[in-house]
C-alpha cells in the first residue's frame, strides 16, 4: 500500500447501530496514525493519535485499534447517534527530520446516522 486508503467511502446507519471503518496505510516508515472527526462547516477535530502496534484507544463510544505490521487501523462507534454524523479521517504520520508532522490523509469515511 502506497497511499492511505479508507473504506467504506460512505455509510448510512440507523440510530443505535454499531459500526466500524478501516484505514490502510504503508507499514514501512511508520511513526503514528491519527484519527480525526470532521463535521460539515467545522474544523477537523482530533480523536486519537496511535503510535504502538496493538494500541487500543477509547473516547466515549468511539474506539480505535492499530496494527502497524500489516498497516491498518479500525475505528469503532458503538450505538451510533445522529450527532456522530460526520466524516472520519485517518492520517499516516511520517516525521520530518526538521520537526513538524508530515500527515498523509485518507479520503475519509462519511457517516450518516438516521434517527
Q: Considering the complex, state which of residue 74 and residue 105 has its C-beta at the smaller distance from other proteins.
A: 105
What is the spatial distance between Cα 81 and Cα 78, in angstroms, rounded to a whole number? 9
> Per CB under 8 A, which of residues 26..85 are in contact with other proteins?
31-32, 34, 36, 41-46, 49, 51
Q: Which residues does residue 67 pair with via DSSP β-bridges, in sequence order?
A: 72
Calpha distance 25→29 (Å, rounded): 10
Residue 4 found at the interface with other proteins (CB under 8 A)? yes
For residue 113, the minimal CB distance to other proteins (Å) is: 22
Q: 6, 23 in Cβ contact below 8 A? A: yes
14 vs 43 by CB, closer to other proteins: 43
Instruction: Please give the Cα distance from 74 to 24 (Å, whole number).
Output: 9
* Closer Cβ to other proteins, 1 or 95, answer by number: 95
Which residues are registered as beta bridge partners of 53? none
The alpha carbon of residue 51 and the mean position of all alpha carbons in its chain are separated, in whole angstroms, by 13
Q: Could you say whether residue 93 binds other proteins (CB under 8 A)? A: yes
Give the residue, chosen from 2, 83, 100, 115, that forms a contact with other proteins under the rule CB under 8 A: 100
Question: What residues line the site for other proteins (CB under 8 A)?
Answer: 4, 31-32, 34, 36, 41-46, 49, 51, 89, 91, 93-96, 98-108
Amino acid at each position: 500500500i502506497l497511499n492511505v486508503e479508507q473504506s467504506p467511502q460512505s455509510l448510512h446507519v440507523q440510530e443505535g447501530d454499531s459500526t466500524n471503518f478501516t484505514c490502510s496505510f504503508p507499514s514501512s516508515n511508520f511513526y503514528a496514525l491519527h484519527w480525526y472527526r470532521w463535521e460539515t462547516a467545522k474544523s477537523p477535530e482530533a480523536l486519537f493519535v496511535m503510535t504502538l502496534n496493538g494500541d487500543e484507544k477509547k473516547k466515549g463510544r468511539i474506539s480505535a485499534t492499530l496494527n502497524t505490521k500489516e498497516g491498518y487501523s479500525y475505528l469503532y462507534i458503538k450505538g451510533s447517534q445522529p450527532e456522530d454524523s460526520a466524516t472520519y479521517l485517518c492520517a499516516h504520520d511520517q516525521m520530518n527530520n526538521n520537526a513538524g508532522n508530515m500527515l498523509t490523509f485518507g479520503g475519509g469515511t462519511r457517516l450518516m446516522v438516521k434517527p
